[in-house]
């Protein structure tokens, strides 16, 4: 029997005990489970996938009810999980965490919410971490797509007043621009005190590559969000109605391609292109 199969059988047994006799579970189980299933003590990325599947299944069994294991996993352990441990199933786990942490906000509307307030979504910060820090490019791209669709299409956003939706979208664009500025400044402002090739390579491999990743992914996310916003009729309804009412045909302009490159100490970045 394979190691993965043995792990799945043990977790199935644990799942059964959790459902029929939760009082038998020892204290501190949540931390041990997290560490050995998806944290530093997990045997590998395949085992971490099984671990994330365990939490997702447990979430489904809880049917949105309060659960101490999920509470600790979503609120305490996941926010400090090393990005090196982001396996392919971490995105589905992150989606479940957002659903769980915001389960009460679908029913409870805040009467004091003003028109200019933006929407705060519990757990969304972990989605940003996957986008910016994941080593897997496909995983980061899928997380970006989910984030864009969430802000443009989800009931959690669209059920809010128009001013709140607009402020929420503006806040996301502001964050992308801030990340672009910060990454570019960190790269161009880096100075190497030791001029040896080994020291230069070390700085480039760490600081430069990390900031390149943040810059490129923030740019891609901003590009994807703007295109998605323009392609959805609910966000362009007013402009379309105005154009139709005036008897003028809609005029589509030429695509705008932005090319960006920065220069640092003995370093020149690749050219990044984004078309709007």
**pLDDT means over runs of 10, the chain (276 residues):** 87 86 82 92 91 92 83 94 93 94 60 61 95 95 96 91 91 94 80 51 70 92 93 70 46 55 59 61
Please give the pLDDT value at position 115: 44
Q: Which pTM was predicted?
A: 0.79
User: How many CB atoms lie under 10 A from the CB of residue 42?
Assistant: 20
> Distance between CA 210 and CA 133 in Å, rounded?
8
Strand locations in the chain, DSSP E? 257-260, 263-264, 267-268, 272-275
Please give the pLDDT value at position 15: 86
Q: What separation in angstroms does the CA of 259 have from each of 169, 267, 269, 270?
A: 24, 17, 12, 10
> Distance between CA 8 and CA 18 in Å, rounded?
15
Please give the pLDDT value at position 112: 43
189 DSSP assignment: T
Please give the pLDDT value at position 251: 44
Please give the pLDDT value at position 170: 92
Q: Which residues contact 238 (CB under 8 A, 6 or more apart)?
A: none
In this structure, what are the phi and psi dihedrals at residue 258, rounded to the nearest 5 degrees? -105, 130
Please give the pLDDT value at position 20: 80
Please give the pLDDT value at position 114: 42
Token duo for residue 82: 């090393």
Please give the pLDDT value at position 171: 93
Token duo for residue 76: 């305490």
Please give the pLDDT value at position 249: 45
Please give the pLDDT value at position 246: 45
Determine the Cα angle at 214 with ends 118 and 267, to 5°. Answer: 145
> Distance between CA 81 and CA 98 in Å, rounded?
16
């Amino acid at each position: 029997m394979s190691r993965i199969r043995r792990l799945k059988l043990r977790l199935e047994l644990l799942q059964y005990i959790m459902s029929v006799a939760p009082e038998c579970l020892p204290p501190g189980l949540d931390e041990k489970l997290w560490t050995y299933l998806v944290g530093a003590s997990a045997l590998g990325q395949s085992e971490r996938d099984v671990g994330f599947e365990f939490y997702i299944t447990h979430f489904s069994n809880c049917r949105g009810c309060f659960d101490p294991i999920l509470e600790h996993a979503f609120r305490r352990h996941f926010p400090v999980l090393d990005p090196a441990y982001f396996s392919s199933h971490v995105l589905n786990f992150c989606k479940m965490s957002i659903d769980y942490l915001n389960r009460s906000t679908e029913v409870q509307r805040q009467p004091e919410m003003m028109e200019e307030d933006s929407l705060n979504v519990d757990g969304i910060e972990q989605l940003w971490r996957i986008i910016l820090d994941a080593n897997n490019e496909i995983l980061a791209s899928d997380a970006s797509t989910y984030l864009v669709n969430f802000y443009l299409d989800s009931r959690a956003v669209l059920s809010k007043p128009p001013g709140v939706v607009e402020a929420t979208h503006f806040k996301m664009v502001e964050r992308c621009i801030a990340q672009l500025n910060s990454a570019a400044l960190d790269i161009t402002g880096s100075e190497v005190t030791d001029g040896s090739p080994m020291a230069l390579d070390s700085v480039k491999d760490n600081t430069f590559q990390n900031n390149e990743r943040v810059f490129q992914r923030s740019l891609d996310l901003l590009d994807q969000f703007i295109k998605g916003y323009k392609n959805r009729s609910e966000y362009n309804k007013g402009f379309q109605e105005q154009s139709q009412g005036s008897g003028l045909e809609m005029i589509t302009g030429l695509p705008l391609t932005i090319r960006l490159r920065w220069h640092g100490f003995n370093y020149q970045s690749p050219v990044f292109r984004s078309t709007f």
